[in-house]
Amino acid sequence: MDKQRSSFLAAAMIALVALLGPITARAADYASEPVILVAKPALATDRLYGATILIVKPMGEDKHIGFILNKPTPLTLGRLFPDHEPSQKVTNPVYLGGPVSTEILFALVQRPAKPGTKSMQIMPDLYAVVDRVGVDDIIEKESDHARFLAGLVLWQPGELRAEVKRGFWYVIDAETSLILRTPTEGMWEELLERSRKNAQRVSASAADVQQYARVR
pLDDT along the chain (216 residues), means of 10: 44 42 51 95 96 97 97 97 96 97 97 90 96 95 97 97 96 94 96 91 58 55
Give the integer Cα–Cα distance in Å for 85 and 134.
Answer: 16
The predicted structure's pLDDT at residue 3 = 47
The predicted structure's pLDDT at residue 127 = 97
Q: Evaluate whether residue 3 is within a structural domain.
A: no
pTM for the model stands at 0.82
The predicted structure's pLDDT at residue 37 = 97
Q: Evaluate whether residue 35 is within a structural domain.
A: yes
CATH number at 149 reads 3.40.1740.10
The predicted structure's pLDDT at residue 27 = 53
The predicted structure's pLDDT at residue 203 = 62
Q: Evaluate whether residue 133 is within a structural domain.
A: yes
CA atoms 108, 64, 53, 67: torsion sign: negative
Q: Evaluate whether residue 199 is within a structural domain.
A: no
Alpha carbon 123 to its chain centroid, in Å, reads 11
Q: Evaluate whether residue 137 is within a structural domain.
A: yes
Are residues 145 and 109 in contact, defined by beta-carbon separation less than 8 angstroms? yes
Structural domain for 117, as ranges: 30-184
